A and B are shown apart, each in its own frame.
Chain A
Amino acid sequence: MTLGRGQTATYLLLAAILVMGGFIRGISLISNGPGTLLDLDPFHSLRAVESIMNNGNIPRFDALSSAPNGTSYAFATSQGYYSFIGSIGLLSGLSPNEALAISPSIFFALELISLFALTLAISKSTVAALLASFFATTLRGWSAISILGADPVAENLGAILFLSAMILAVLLTQRPSYLLVGLLGFVDGISIEAHPVTYYFVNLVLVATASTYVVRREWEYAWNTLLAVLASLYSIALVEASGTALAEAGLFSQSAFWLASLKNNIFTINNSILISEIGLVTILLSWVSILVILRHKLTTLYMLVAWAVVLYCVVLIGQLAVYTPYGTVVEGIPFSAPLTLSHRVMPYLPPVLCILAAIAVGKFLLPSVAGLSRTLKINQATLSGVLLMVILAASAFQLSNAFQYSVYYANSFNTEPTYSSLYTWIREHTAVNSTFAANDLGFGVYVKAIDQRSVFFTTSQEDLTVPDLTQRAILQTCLFLPLCGSNSTEQMIRSYRIQYAIIITPALIVNQNSSSFVSFDYYPIAGQYLRWFQSRPGFVEVYIDSNSAVFAL
């Protein structure tokens, strides 16, 4: 196979974008080294991957979840992702930490290539395809989570499968065949193994796409797309095989609503978050693109509009759920968790906005330059080059933001060393079957992954998917905030067999009474809060350092 000059230049530019994006995303890998995991979710993944690599099977029971009893809802969200990383680790001889830490860099490159291929397939414009990949490197915050180095989350894999499914959906309109229906059904179905939310959003978008075909009376396309959605239902068998029942996923709707409703609603996306993370330039250009597509009835691009609209509706429903009295209506919708925890939409909404923005430039603006160049009597290539430079310069601010965010993420989210002596103490001085409670809602995930001790309340799905969620939230509140009577607290502690209470700083403490998070940030840990803890009957201080303390109960 020989590449033409144009193709070579395109692939070289794509490689340059990959290197630039890889550098921004890989800052943590470069500064912290491979094997360092940042943030909370990766530690949840770590425990699951370790379990698969050490025990040689996909677990159906997790003794450390929903303490003190454990649950069959074991690592339920992303069994496929965990076993996939486990396979990489086993084949390459890497530790679970290393396999996880390196994986986002690989998935990042593949996601950009998939985005390039998708944009090229739908727009037939190499400039648009390159720009889409470029815009994707400028994402930050929740938007960047799926492609951020050293943040191995299931969405890394989910984003690739999502984009691959969209490529197949595009191909299905260009070359309809039952083989492509089958392939789309397979990829769509397997996305549930990356994350159920991926599957949820893939199918929302596919159904929305099919509805655009129905509107255009293109019955064959609509039928093929819906057939692929139906074919993907084989994934239910995989979910059952992973030890998860759909009833439990349904129960998570209430838990998700509870979590999303905790003020300041940190898991809910709104317009200002979208603008700051995706960038004003990308959003404005995507709006231009949508208007042109609708105005000129460019039916082959309707799919992109449907994709953007349906996922933006998820953002709106998320806001409706947590900021208005209609929350209970949303809570009542079966499997509504991805709607209320709308931050989960971020690996899937920004890519379409990047594609739309890129199409606005590559397919609409640049071709229209020809007429303008004749009027202004300027060479068309020069004018196109200037226009591209203006777009790139306008995106430079967002690119710089993405770089700064990545540096901040690499430096601030590496919390493991901060509490390393606490982890060591727990491992060496407590029994394996001890049950802990931690003031910070997410800290238990670290304790479970690093020390293999059960923690009775965390933000992990398998810990929240419990029928007694409110009861647990009340105990969490009473244990760590001076709002309850000591007798009732003591009774609840006994019923959940909690043996140790960990307090760390900084921490986000749940206050069930006011449905909010209380921010606790005092360094070194001391003062009135610690004195209150020390004065409580039955609380014995067994460990203290500048960041943390442990009390035996």
Chain B
Amino acid sequence: MLSSSRLKSLTVVGIRGMILSVPLSILLIIFSYTQVTSIRFILALVFVLFLPGFDVLEVLYDRTMFLTQLQRFVLSIALSIGIVIVNNYVLTLLNIAINLTNLVTVLAGETVIVSFTPMILRQMKKLRPKRVVS
């Protein structure tokens, strides 16, 4: 059983993004090819207005700890808008069509990868040999 401090550190640093991103990405992939417009609409809003920016802020968590939840939410929105717009430009410049399949692939892939980044960074930090000061 995890001690309360360890549990707290896990919920804060690292896995919060994963907990949101992985299941939502799976739902996005599943529902994007159905006719359930209401769920698709909600998922679309989450993926263009919140999740990409939220995951980026999670990667930068150590240096953005001072943000309140509300500020984190608002900045997640602004960053997500920017990321989605840049994605569309990159797709156009790479001559890849902006269509449902490519958008789902890019957004789901991007958010999952970014959401794993904090954990990977922490593991790398653990594996890094400690400097011995003589």
Contacts and interface: CB of A to CB of B under 8 A. Distances in A.
Nearest to B66: A175
B75 A183 contact: yes
B97 to A, nearest CB: 3
Given A58-B92, A84-B48, A167 B41 contact: no
Interface string B25-55: 0001000100101001101110111000000
Given A57-B97, A87-B98, A164-B74, A80 B44 contact: no
Interface stretch (B83-91, B112-120, B121-129): B83-91
B109 interface: no
Contacts of A394: none
Contacts of A113: 70, 73-74
Contact of A80 (B69, B85, B98, B107): B85
Interface residues of A, number: 46
A278 interface: no
A164 B35 contact: no
A83 B104 contact: no
A167 B44 CA distance: 25
Contact of A168 (B49, B75, B95): B75
A167 B47 CA distance: 22
Given A167-B74, A238-B89, A92 B41 contact: yes
B84 A87 contact: yes
A91 B103 contact: yes
A120 interface: yes
A57 B97 CA distance: 6
B77 interface: yes
A93 B74 contact: no
A128 B77 CA distance: 23
Interface residues of B, number: 44
Interface in A224-244: 238, 241-242
Contacts of A168: 75
Contacts of A187: 78-79, 82
Contact of B41 (A56, A83, A94, A120): A94
Contacts of A92: 37, 40-41, 43-45
Contact of B48 (A52, A91, A183, A186): A91
A177 interface: yes
A7 to B, nearest CB: 10
A295 to B, nearest CB: 30
A85 to B, nearest CB: 10
A179 interface: yes
Interface in A177-202: 177, 179, 183, 186-187, 190, 193
A56 B107 CA distance: 16
B60 interface: yes
B93 interface: yes
Given A58-B89, A80-B85, A117-B71, A88 B78 contact: no
Contacts, number: 128
Interface centre among B95, B98, B104 (most CB of A within 10 A): B98
Interface string A49-86: 00011001110000000000000000000001001101
B53 to A, nearest CB: 10
B98 A177 contact: no
B100 interface: yes
Nearest to A238: B89
A483 interface: no
A114 B74 contact: yes
B92 A84 contact: no
**Which of B78, B100, B103 has the most chain A CB within a 10 Å cutoff?**
B78
A101 B103 CA distance: 21
B81 interface: yes
A179 B103 contact: no
Contact of A167 (B66, B71, B100): B71
B65 to A, nearest CB: 10
A94 B93 contact: no
Given A91-B48, A120-B70, A238-B86, 14 more contacts: A56-B99, A57-B92, A86-B98, A90-B100, A91-B44, A93-B37, A106-B45, A110-B49, A114-B74, A121-B71, A161-B78, A168-B75, A175-B66, A187-B78
Nearest 10 A/B pairs, CB to CB: A56-B97, A164-B78, A91-B44, A190-B82, A83-B88, A92-B44, A92-B41, A80-B85, A58-B92, A57-B92
Interface of B: 28, 32, 35, 37, 40-41, 43-45, 47-49, 60, 63-64, 66-67, 69-71, 73-75, 77-79, 81-82, 84-86, 88-89, 91-93, 95, 97-100, 103-104, 107
27 contacts: A57-B91, A57-B92, A57-B95, A83-B85, A84-B88, A86-B88, A87-B44, A87-B84, A87-B103, A90-B103, A91-B43, A91-B103, A92-B41, A93-B37, A94-B41, A106-B45, A117-B71, A157-B81, A161-B78, A167-B71, A167-B74, A167-B75, A175-B66, A179-B64, A190-B78, A241-B89, A241-B92
